[in-house]
Structure 1
Amino acid sequence: MDEKYPDPDEPGHTPGLEPGGQVPPGETPPGEDSTAGAGPDERHNPATGWAKAPVIILAVLVLLFLVYFLAWAVEL
């Protein structure tokens, strides 16, 4: 029988184990480094805040909303 993956319950047949079931030095990969450098470099895209046009449009809509409900409240 040709097995690609040995049975883990049989440590005598598992490759990479010393007698007694210990893993020899150099058999396991080194620990991973930090993920601090894993993302894209975003120094080219600084935050600039809101543009003037959206702020003005939002202010006008809020004022229209307030004027409408103020007129509605006065009418009652």
Structure 2
Amino acid sequence: MVSSNPDPMDENITGLEPGGGVPPGETPPAEGSISSDQGHSEGAKAGKAVSRLWLVAISIVVVLIALFFVGYITGLFDLLS
């Protein structure tokens, strides 16, 4: 049993060679040809001070949350009230 193609226009697609190949020149180039500056440096990194500041801030928040849970588990909040 041979099934027919449900798309009648499938045979009339421009640019396709028999077997589904595409001839050279039918596809866009693989890369753009931008040669001017983009206005920013691709390798720009934040300063070490900014990175350390974020690390310290996140560490403080984590330590405070851990102390809260330790105090809750040990019943420290029950002693204060």
User: TM-score normalized by structure 2?
Assistant: 0.40
Query: More helix by proportion, 1 or 2?
Result: 2
Question: Over alpha carbons, which structure has the higher Rg?
Answer: 1
> TM-score normalised to the size of structure 1?
0.42
